[in-house]
Structure 1
């Protein structure tokens, strides 16, 4: 067997594979002999079918299979040994006059080669790294929410502006019949609010669905309908009041502090606010880090310039998908995926040049940290190390989970690298201003 490479340009090459009879014949003969031993053909005893008949019946298919296996194995070996960084997979060139009845075969494969380029982690223009702070307004609002959440309900006989009203929404035409509890502080419509205030259990008021709540997501659950229907709904619904309650805020005392953070971990209102501020800003770090990762990624895509073997890649997309694509479809698909491919190449180079690796032990510890945070959401704040090890072992036995966690850990390593070496400028903002600035 002989394999040679013809370099077309920096991004394209053709690999030629010449296979002779000596490369495959011994293997083909061995397989045909096995067929002869096992063949059941009418008129012949098992194991006594003439080899000529075996060759006639199975010879061509065995030859094709073995040549293709030989071709694939040796082509992959060649690409590895020659350290050829290919994009996609080798594409076989069409041969109109190919003849399987010959003894020697020649094959050609087109290759799309990865470009050579440099990545400078320190960009000319500084990238904003947001430090999101929990300001006094946010902390005070969170304290109020906690007081309300842990407060007690006091039954009333008349609706006030800040009360919770339990009742049933009805509209026969739209088949709405849903019992719900309304927090009047979440009602947006002044007309609806005026209709409710002063009413008593047993009273029925008519409310317009359009613009009823400050947040649109509240309407579907209040009426017991799906989101799509709620978005288009603009009708009058009857609301019959059944119960009125005022939520009396919980006092800022040790009982509340212990409920929130465990016994004696917080001992004053000042410490409560400091803890809320600290916990909130830790949560904000995830959003800030994701924003930084996105911005650094976009910056690399915009500033790291290199060509791709685009014609080869369009052809590869056209020929290797689940179903054949037209040239126009393949071009459109390539244009959609080009940006992602560029960053994949850039990221791969950064990982290689900075020797970033995911080791098994650190992946296991990362998995345990992830499991621990998940358990904390369900109130299990101090799981035993043995329990964490057992759960982590089950997770590490799932290849899909291992892949997902490996990608997350590598993203964390890249993020740490960017924080250390990229050209960043820190900008301190409140969460409200962060949302305005980032999401508009």
Structure 2
């Protein structure tokens, strides 16, 4: 057997494997003899068929299997012995494979494309400065959240006359008769310039308007139609009011506090506001932490400047997902994949150089934290903790063990980022929700 490496560029190469008869024939003969001992061929007692007949029946398939096994193990061992880091999987050159004459050839040549990176260097110290953000929730946002909760737990009424914030239930109809539907119109979704038409209405009143101009946000969602029908909602329409629905906000009393947070959690309006603030701050700052961590990753990726084999990786992604994605989709998603791959390479390199390991106990604790977050608003606190081990086991054993490996990787990433943060210069900045949204858009 002869294996040679032909580098085409700094990150792509071909591996060529040459097999002659002496490499594979002993294993093929041994497998054919094993078949002969077990074969049940018509006209012969079990295991008594002539070896020549068995070879004729099974020889080619045995040859193919043995050569494929040899190729797989030999290629694997060869690539493991290299100093560079293999990306994706080796891609067999299909053109060569299609030309093989398995029945008559004695010598075989195989070729595989590979993509790799080498000499990955990740340098970071106090000269590397990044900004870490903490979000402060303003009073107006808290007030809006409390108002939403009061409406959520409020009482539904049916007033005689409509006002801002009501829902109008009624029939919308195109004046040319091309469209008709009964639905509930939230006046909060009506554009400010058109809103006055919908204020002061009573049951049975009829107004005319153009839905495409009067209703803001997602017209299809508001009216309850498919996206393909939106074009029908342009022009002159009538709306007949059948009913007016209004939610009276719940009073800020103990009954309301208990409904929102459970019995005996808060006992005053001040404590209620503080708890809302704490929960909102925690939720927003989880998002902010993810954002800040991604910025650190971006900085390290940019500094490492890893030269990925783009052409090879796109071909590998397409062939690995053949029939599931188009080449256009691969091209479109590649930048996201490339960023994730670059970070994985960097994270593994930092972990290896600094003996950072994700332990089993860390995986268990992170899984528990994830499950608690998922059930945070379910009110199942005590019941959840008593069954936590079962939830953790079910999750980590799911998806054929991939859930465990994904959580293991997540733990390592957390540890790597924590290590990096200790070594670099971090500027802390407190920001508002509007500022955070602006950062996300940019």
Same fold (TM over 0.5): yes
Q: How many residues get paired?
A: 434
Point out the more displaced range, 95-104 or 409-418.
95-104
**8 Å CA contact retained: 1:169, 1:180:** no
Instruction: Deviation per CA, 1:42-66: give whole Å up to 9, x if none.
Output: 7766644433343344434423321
Does the Cα contact within 8 Å between 2:12 and 2:116 map onto a contact in 1? yes
The residue that corresponds to 1:363 in the other structure is 363
Tell me the residue number matched to 1:177: 181
Cα distance, 1:367 vs structure 2: 2.3
Aligned to 1:200: 202
The residue that corresponds to 1:351 in the other structure is 351
Deviations 1:23-47 (A, max 9, x none): 5444322322233345566776664
2:133 aligns with 130
2:426 corresponds to which of 424, 427, 439 = 424
Shift in alpha-carbon separation, 1:150–1:55, aligned structure 2, 3 A: closer
Question: What pairs with 1:255-294 in structure 2 (closer than 5 Å)?
Answer: 255-294=255-294
Name the CA distance, whole Å, in 1 between partners of 2:120 and 2:89: 21
Determine the C-alpha separation between the residues in 2 that align with 1:334 and 1:274.
43
In 2 relative to 1, CA 3–254 (structure 1 residues): closer, same or farther, beyond 3 Å? same
User: Would the aligned equivalents of 2:208 and 2:236 in 1 still touch at CA under 8 Å?
Assistant: yes
Q: 271-280 or 20-29: which moved more?
A: 20-29
Residues 236 and 109 of structure 1, relative CA distance in 2, 3 Å threshold? closer
Counterpart of 1:129 in 2: which secondary structure?
Answer: strand
After TM superposition, list the pairs within 5 Å mapping 1:82-121 onto structure 2. Answer: 85-90=85-90, 111-121=114-124
8 Å CA contact 2:87–2:117 kept in 1: the answer is yes
Change in 2 beyond 3 A, CA 1:40/1:397 = closer
Superimposed CA distance per residue, residues 381-437 of structure 1 (whole angstroms, 9 cap, x where no aligned partner)? 332433222222222221343344445444444443444444332221111222134
Q: Unpaired segments of 5 or more residues in structure 2? A: none
* Counterparts of 1:249 and 1:263, CA distance in 2: 20
Contact 1:289/1:415 (CA < 8 Å) preserved in 2?
A: no
Structure 2 SS opposite 1:357: coil
* Counterpart residue number, 2:34: 34
TM-score w.r.t. the length of structure 2 is: 0.80
Q: 2:177 and 2:225 mapped to 1: Cα distance? A: 13
CA distance, structure 1, for counterparts of residue 422 and residue 178 of structure 2 = 58
Contact 1:250 / 1:256 at 8 angstroms: preserved in 2? yes
1:22/1:176 CA distance change after superposition, 3 Å: same
In structure 2, the partner of 1:150 is: 153
Q: Identify the residue that residue 300 of structure 1 maps to in structure 2.
A: 300
- Indicate if the aligned counterparts of 1:88 and 1:316 stay in contact, CA closer than 8 A: yes
CA deviation after TM superposition for structure 1 residue 282, in Å? 0.4
TM-score (norm 1): 0.81
1:209 aligned onto 2:228:
no
Query: What is the match of residue 59 of structure 2?
Result: 59
Distance 2:281 2:392 in 1: 28
The 2-side partners of 1:385 and 1:90 are apart by 46
SS at match of 1:158: coil
Give the Cα–Cα distance (whole angstroms) in 2 for the partners of residues 390 and 319 of structure 1.
38
Which runs of 5 or more residues in structure 1 are unaligned?
A: none
Q: How does 1:225-244 map to 2 (within 5 A)?
A: 225-227=225-227, 229-230=229-230, 233-244=233-244
53 and 438 in structure 1: CA distance in 2 versus 1, 3 angstrom threshold: closer
250-259 or 165-174, larger mean C-alpha shift:
165-174
- Structure 2: how far apart are the matches of 1:7 and 1:389? 51
* Corresponding residue number in structure 2 for 1:391: 391
